[in-house]
Structure 1
Amino acid sequence: MATDPRGLRGDAPLLDAWLRFQEQRPTPFTIPGHKQRHDLVGDVVAGDVPLYAGLDTMKLSGGVLAEAEARAARLWGADVARFSVGGATHANQALALALGGDGDTVVVSRTLHRSLLLGLVVAGLTPVWVRPETDPRTGLPLGVAPASVARALEAHPEARAVLVGDPSYVGTVGDVAGLAGVAHAHGAPLVVDAAWAAHFGFHPALPDHALALGADAMVVSAHKTLPAWSQAALVLARADRIDAARLDAGVEATATTSPAGAILASTDAARALLERDGEALLGVALDAVRGARQRLAEVEGLVVLGGDGVDPLKLTLVLPGTGAHGVRVEDDLLAAGLPVEAAERDTLVAVVSLADTADSLGALVDAVTDSIERHRGAPRPVAPAATYAVEPVSVMTPRQAYFADAEAVPLTEALGRVSVELVAPYPPGIPVLAPGEQVTAATLAALDAARAAGVRIAYAADASLQTLRVAR
């Protein structure tokens, strides 16, 4: 029988509905087809309750989803909150549809995730790219400077919105308040893909969340740093500069019509937990990360990303000074049952959430320290991350390229051609090459550098990247 160990159901209508379904154990004549039987394919379907005729009636007469979303809106100070069972990908694409139409211009940071770029394809938006600053000490991205956005808006006064990803995948935090000021001075809303920042604003040691800093809309992934099911995310917006009706329409247009109730209920439960106990739980996790940083700082040559402008909960390690190869360290961590979010030659990224404690962080630090000593070598220079170094050359809009007549050519013959596909090192899923962009020598060098660093190159039709699809 399902339980509510922290007593959240009274403040979480979707969680309460999910628990009542387990307690009543109905015999449904609706989807899903497993009909709550675990003897057919096993416990892999345990807890799978639909929203329709599950958490609520088929007609949604109970209003539990609307009530849960209203509570989330109040918590984050938004006018609109919508839950997503399709992750930040769905939420970003819904926002893209809300911002403009075919041919409209938007200013977009080159730290965007592939989901937002494909949102530009769906909505027909034309990006004006702005790139983040890069820290020469680590080779990693900082935030996008407000001055860069101001220059882009001055050059493109027709821009309908500014879209940035903040914090970055590695945990660096930009000047969101400054970006909001610049965008608003030009009459444009600021939209922040804050997928990695669901915890921001809920402890004094953490940065404020994007809406509190003046953004008009933000996306957060409840499953990244909160205790929610995979694919759980929220889109939150203020209605001053974002059309709430268009946002609702965008959410519905890109959502499944069979949303998983367990994902929705876990989002609601995570929101209730964050509201009631978030500061205390985050305090424990932040103390644990602080202790981990202190221990790791003693490892010769290792740089631990930290200080002002970095998410205190994220643990990003820069390895060149140790001579160790991050993929070899990752192999040791996998063998120890301690997988990390990302590992390449020069960088390890460990995601910490409010579920972590001094014990979990202590085990990670022990394993990382031992592995670095095992693989220690001659220090090497820091190489700027290839993902953030490419200056894109746009020839077509993303939508035009996506639907263009195309052919596959050997990568060595693609130089000067226009890509119709998205090619990105993953993680983090930030494009080196986007639909509509010219394949340049810098593009090819960046892809080579990423592969040499042990990063998987994702999304291209040819996973080996021997060929690339380009416009005829």
Structure 2
Amino acid sequence: MPTDPRQLRADAPLLDAWLRFREHPPTPFTIPGHKQRTDLVGDVVAGDVPLYAGLDTMKLTTGALADAEARAARLWGADFCRFSTGGATHANQAVALAVAQHGDTVIVSRTLHRSLLLGLVLAGLNPVWVQPEVDPATGLPTGVAPGEVRRALATHPQARAVFVGDPSYVGTVGDVAGLAGVAHEHGVPLIVDAAWAAHFGFHPDLPRHPLQLGADAMVTSAHKTLPAWSQAALVLARTERFDPARLDAGVEATATTSPAGAILASTDAARALLERDGDKLLGDAIAATADARQRLRSVHGLTVLDGPDVDPLKLTLVLAGTGADGNAVEQDLLAAGLPLESADRDVLVAVVSLADTADGLTALTDTIIRSVERLRDTPRPVVGPAAYRLDPVPGIPPRDAFFAAAEPVPIDRAVGRVSAELVAPYPPGIPVLAPGEQITTATLNALEHACRAGVRIAYAADPTLATLRVTAT
């Protein structure tokens, strides 16, 4: 049975405040300018209650937000928790500002989301890149190996922190406990961008979340796998290797001063639901996804990611063995009202959450099977996204490149120049080029491969890629 949100309000102070505002609406002489009227621009503003003079007083006298964050910290086993209305992007950048000083070196997985790489620009940190291992059978990453981080720390003993992303965008899970052990051997914190893992640790068939595995801080997106508003995220930390005041300052420095109360209240409600009913709801979703995997494995040539090192609620399919083009499969799914998280020529990614139903997964599976069989062609070699195979060549620090005088150059004359911009196939937003890196032939080949695979290239100043923005000589 669906949960009545009012049943959660006793354990969710922000949700309770949002419901009370809706039950007894005031006549506000504050922002937002719609003044709770939906007769002007419609229901697009319905439920938009601010934090200030909404969920709380303008002076925050009730402490509802602090109470909700403390409850989330207890649930995740953290000393520190802050809610974000700017998604994991805001949370990643807040952690980057908190972990070290301008000019310091940090060890960073090269396949992290663009938000963290731009956090390095904001904080003035200098990355030493480490690469995840790649499964040759799928071309997809399996996680950064602890030995890779150990070698990087041995070569760069001045490093102040280790940043990794886990699970990966495609749902593969790495050895976070091993990474934490290596980082702590060197006396530095492990920070995990766990944007896709808000549900981890809350069902026995799911991996444990990073804090349970020894990480010092984790960023997670409540809106990705929990029933929260878009942009809802959390930053959680243990403070043995973190200054909580510095982390709090990092959050405030990069946050809006007009946070959307509905986003905050939905984070609080999702936390309360996860704590109360998560095991049951997640169990049902895991069982339905396992049934979908079983059916999809029967399709000749279709590779279905599965096993103990894969998120049970991430449905990732590799199409190379079927010869079908994933972009065409996506069109069939869109026509059926079943949009995917990601689709390119070779890989389809479907996100399943505790809000999904067995009927919905059956419809998705039926449509994929029909589409693949209709589009079946000569099998292709497995290639995998090019971003996972790049070996970046450092040029100058990312912050220096971002603020340097820059100029556009034709892409065929860009090799050897230093990039002043970030360029990433999206999704998943893993940069092929980051500010400060030298542009190589491999870089251009990776961009060409992504374009041929039907992936949107994002964030480039010239979206046609006829030119690239480089530091001026």
TM range (shorter): over 0.9
State yes or no: 1:458 paired with 2:462.
no
Q: Where do residues 196-345 of structure 1 align in structure 2 (5 Å cutoff)?
A: 196-345=196-345
Deviations 1:49-82 (A, max 9, x none): 0000000000000000000000000000000000
AA aligned to 2:182 is V
Q: Which amino acid aligns with 1:284?
A: D
Deviation at 1:6, TM superposition (A): 6.0
Q: Extract unaligned runs of 5+ from structure 1.
A: none
Name the amino acid aligned to 1:412: D
- Rounded to whole Å, the distance in 1 between the matches of 2:404 and 2:385 is 31
Matches of 1:317 and 1:168 in 2, distance apart?
14
> Distance in 2 between the 1:414 and 1:381 partners?
29
Q: C-alpha deviations, 1:353-411, integer Å up to 9, x for none?
A: 00012111001001101110111101111013201111000111100000001001111
Give the equivalent residue in structure 2 for 1:423.
423
For 1:60, the equivalent position in structure 2 comes to 60
Q: CA deviation at 1:4?
A: 4.1
Shift, 1:139, TM fit: 0.4
Does 2:94 match 1:94?
Answer: yes
CA shift, 1:443, in A, is 0.3
User: Which residue identity lines up with residue 369 of structure 2 in the other structure?
Assistant: T
Distance across 1 between alignment mates of 2:142 and 2:443: 21
Query: Are 2:92 and 2:193, in contact at CA under 8 Å, matched by a contact in 1?
Result: yes
> How far is the alpha carbon of 1:93 from its aligned partner?
0.2
Supply the distance in 2 between the matched residues of 1:97 and 1:4 (Cα, whole angstroms). Answer: 39
Deviation at 1:246, TM superposition (A): 0.4
Q: Aligned partner of 1:303: which letter?
A: T
Letter of the structure 2 residue corresponding to residue 259 of structure 1? P
Q: Does 1:46 align with 2:46?
A: yes
How far is the alpha carbon of 1:5 from its aligned partner? 4.0
Spell out structure 1 runs of 4+ moving beyond 3 A.
Answer: 3-6
In the aligned structure 2, how far is the partner of 1:452 from the partner of 1:326?
A: 12
The residue aligned with 1:376 is: 376
C-alpha offsets along residues 292-327 of structure 1, whole Å, 9 cap, x if unaligned?
000000111100000121111100000011110000
Do residues 105 (structure 1) and 105 (structure 2) align? Answer: yes
Q: TM-score, normalised by structure 2?
A: 0.99
SS of the aligned residue for 1:349 comes to strand
Q: d(CA) in 1 for partners of 2:308 and 2:74?
A: 29
- The answer on 1:358 being equivalent to 2:361 is no
Residue aligned with 1:205, SS: coil
Q: Which AA in structure 1 matches 2:48?
A: D
- What is the CA–CA distance in structure 2 between the aligned matches of 1:326 and 1:456, rounded to whole Å? 14
Counterpart Cα distance in 2 of 1:307 and 1:194? 19
What do the CA deviations read for 1:167-188 (whole angstroms, capped 9, x no partner)?
0000000000000000000000
Question: What code does the residue aligned with 1:310 have?
Answer: V
**Match for residue 168 of structure 1?**
168
Q: CA RMSD in A?
A: 0.8
SS of the equivalent of 1:68 reads: helix
The separation in 2 between residues aligned to 1:51 and 1:22, in whole angstroms, is: 13
Question: In the TM superposition, what is the alpha-carbon distance from 1:96 to its structure 2 partner?
Answer: 0.2
**How far apart, in 2, do the equivalents of 1:25 and 1:383 lie?**
56
Alignment-derived partner of residue 441 in structure 2: 441
Give 1:449 deviation, angstroms. Answer: 0.5
Structure 2 match to 1:36: 36
Between the aligned partners of 1:277 and 1:365, the Cα distance in structure 2 is 26
Question: Per-residue deviation at 1:101?
Answer: 1.6
Q: Aligned equivalents of 1:283 and 1:342: distance in 2?
A: 24
CA distance in 2, matches of 1:436, 1:426: 20
Residue identity in the other structure for 1:386: A
* AA in 2 matched with 1:256: T
Aligned to 1:467: 467
Q: Could you say which residue in structure 1 is the equivalent of 2:118?
A: 118
CA displacement, residues 318-349 of structure 1 (integer Å, 9 cap, x when unaligned): 00111100000000101110000000000000
CA distance in 2, matches of 1:68, 1:5: 16
In the TM superposition, what whole-angstrom CA distance separates every residue of 1:141-192 from its partner, at most 9, and x where no partner exists?
1100000000000001110000000000000000000000000000000000
Query: What amino acid sits opposite 1:42 in the alignment?
Result: G
User: What is the identity, as a one-letter code, of the residue corresponding to 1:230?
Assistant: S
Deviations 1:396-450 (A, max 9, x none): 1100000001001111111110000001110000011100000000000011001
2:459 partner letter: Y
Cα distance in 2 for residues equivalent to 1:61 and 1:5: 24
How far is 1:130 from its partner? 0.1
2:455 partner amino acid: V
Partner SS, residue 137 of structure 1: coil
In the alignment, is the contact (CA less than 8 A) between 2:306 and 2:312 conserved in 1? Answer: yes
Instruction: Give the alignment's TM-score, normalised by structure 1.
Output: 0.99
Q: SS at 1:19's partner residue?
A: helix
Alignment-mate amino acid for residue 134 of structure 2:
T
C-alpha offsets along residues 215-256 of structure 1, whole Å, 9 cap, x if unaligned?
A: 000001000000000000000000000111000000000000
Residues 245-281 of structure 1: CA deviation (Å, up to 9, x unaligned): 0000000000000000000000000000000000000
In structure 1, C-alpha distance between the alignment counterparts of 2:24 and 2:444, rounded to whole Å: 59
Q: Provide the rounded CA distance (Å) in 1 between the counterparts of 2:300 and 2:4.
A: 45
Aligned partner letter, 1:187: G
User: What CA distance in whole angstroms lies between the structure 1 residues aligned with 2:325 and 2:172?
Assistant: 22
Question: 1:405 is matched with which residue?
Answer: 405
- Opposite residue 107 of structure 1, the aligned amino acid is I
Q: Deviations over 1:118-143 (max 9, x none)?
A: 00000000000000000000000110
The match for 1:180 is 180
- Are 2:346 and 2:384, in contact at CA under 8 Å, matched by a contact in 1? no
Indicate the residue corresponding to 2:84 in structure 1: 84
